[in-house]
Amino acid sequence: MKKQIFNSEIDMNEYLCSSDENHNVLRVNPSLRLYIKVTDDCNAKCDFCANNLSRDFGSLDFAKLGIVIRYLYDRNLLHGVSITGGEPMLYPDIVNRIINLVYSIDPHIEVQLSTNGINFRRLLDFENINNLESIHLSRHHYDEKVNQRIFHSSKVASDNDIIYVQDHLEDKKIININTLVMKGYIDSLKEIKAMLNYVGRVGVYKNGFVSLMKCNEFSKERFINFNDIFRHLDKDFFLSHHFYSKTYCECIDGVYLTDDAKIVEFYARMVKECNQCESKTMQLVYTTNNRVLNGFSGKEIF
Ligand code: SF4
């Protein structure tokens, strides 16, 4: 479906994910997620990072950002806002300001934040922290030292940071822990279970497992097809859904019973090809130098 957005005609993805691999479901109202890049900097140096494919090193113009959000919102094109980077929580005051800006337009807009957990406790200073739809905390191993090795940084959320923030949040379901499935780390059903048991121990309710996007040599070497693991779940897992998008990704979700008899929700998602989604638009990106792109490495439209 083609839509005029700013001065460009955008070919929007009009399909919803479907539980039937061969039949896709048409959306009634195709809409877009706006990714706001707070910064292109990051405290970490992950070997699988795709951030260096699109860096501008600018600084956000809040007046222009407000115009863009309002433009999409007024035309019923805004499905939600994701605050990302680089690492957005290098600048917690800017993140807080963006959240307040979005909610000043409509407090019901779905806002997500992705972070590796630097300055994690600063989240509790945010006026609207309990209104967020989700905070996606990247945590790639249950062992803190191994996790720090994956990030090549010790300045990511520690176990104690996670427990502290989770303890102080009113809405206990905001934090999702996101874990990459990759060879040598979380790479088998046994390791998936160890991760879910860890997530239960730190008091978080949800753990997402994501396959690497094969965007560089490291990711190609460490890639694991999620079906190799998640097709073989045992009695500790209760599977709810298996969804397919038309071309882009495939996912499952359900719940897991931990060793401590806690219930942790899980989901697992595999993106089929790097940037394949960008043939049909699902996302716009607001860059650090105040351009709007059709996807992370797409054409400038404003
Ligand atoms: S935390 Fe994210 S942005 Fe930072 S290096 Fe890792 S993948 Fe890249």
Using one digit for the tens of pLDDT, what is the confidence trace for 210-229? Answer: 999 888 999 999 999 888 99
Instruction: Enumerate residues 6+ apart whose C-beta is below 8 A from 96.
Output: 125, 126, 127
User: For residue 23, is it within any domain?
Assistant: no
pTM of the model: 0.93
Please report the atom of ligand 1 found closest to the CA of residue 42: 4
Domain that holds residue 223: 2-16+31-293
Q: How far is CA 95 from CA 47, 144, 190, in A?
A: 25, 26, 37
| Domain contains 299 | no
- 45 in a structural domain: yes
The one-letter amino acid at 148: Q
Closest Cα to atom 6, ligand 1: which residue?
A: 46
How far apart are the CA of 185 and the centre of ligand 1, in A?
A: 17
233 CA → ligand 1 middle, Å = 30
- pLDDT tens for each residue of 78-113: 999 999 999 999 999 999 999 999 999 999 999 999
Cα(96) to centroid(ligand 1), Å: 20
Question: The CATH number of the domain where 105 resides is what?
Answer: 3.20.20.70
Distance CA 276, CA 87 (A): 24
- Tens of pLDDT, residue by residue, the chain (302 residues): 788 999 898 888 776 677 777 777 666 677 899 999 999 999 999 999 988 767 888 999 999 999 999 999 999 999 999 999 999 999 999 999 999 999 999 999 999 999 999 999 999 999 999 999 999 999 999 999 999 999 999 999 999 999 999 999 999 999 999 999 999 999 999 999 999 999 999 999 999 999 998 889 999 999 998 889 988 899 999 988 888 776 667 889 999 999 999 999 999 988 766 654 445 668 999 999 999 999 888 899 99
Answer whether residue 300 is part of any domain.
Answer: no
Q: CA nearest 225: which of 277, 269, 276?
A: 269
- In total, how many domains does the chain have? 1
- Give a yes or no: residue 161 inside a domain: yes
CA–centroid distance, residue 97 to ligand 1 (Å): 22
Helices then strands (H, E): number in the chain? Answer: 7, 15
Which whole-number Å values give the CA distances from 180 to 168, 186, 192, 211, 219, in the listed order?
26, 7, 10, 6, 10
β-strand 283-286 against 292-293: which pairing, if any?
Answer: antiparallel
Residue 106 domain-assigned?
Answer: yes
- For residue 22, is it within any domain? no
Joined together, the tokens standing for residue 240 give: 């709810």
- Contacts of residue 278, defined as CB under 8 A and 6 or more positions apart, other chains included, come to 294, 295, 296, 297, 298
The H or E element that residue 265 is part of is strand 263-271
The token pair that represents 215 in the structure block? 């965007």
Q: Rounded distance, CA 60 to CA 94, Å?
A: 9
Query: Which of 46, 48, 222 has most ligand 1 atoms within 8 Å of its beta carbon, as the pocket-test mutant?
Result: 46
C-alpha to C-alpha distance for 295 and 74, rounded to whole angstroms: 21
Give the residue carrying structure tokens 């960008």: 278
Instruction: Tell me the C-alpha distance between 56 and 158, whole Å.
Output: 30
Task: Give me the amino acid identity at 230.
Answer: F
With a Cβ cut-off of 6 Å, ligand 1 is lined by: 42, 44-46, 49, 51, 85-87, 116, 138
In a domain, 41, yes or no: yes
The two three-digit tokens of residue 92, written as one number: 């917690």
What is the best residue among 51, 150, 178 to mutate for testing ligand 1's pocket, by most ligand atoms within 8 Å of CB? 51
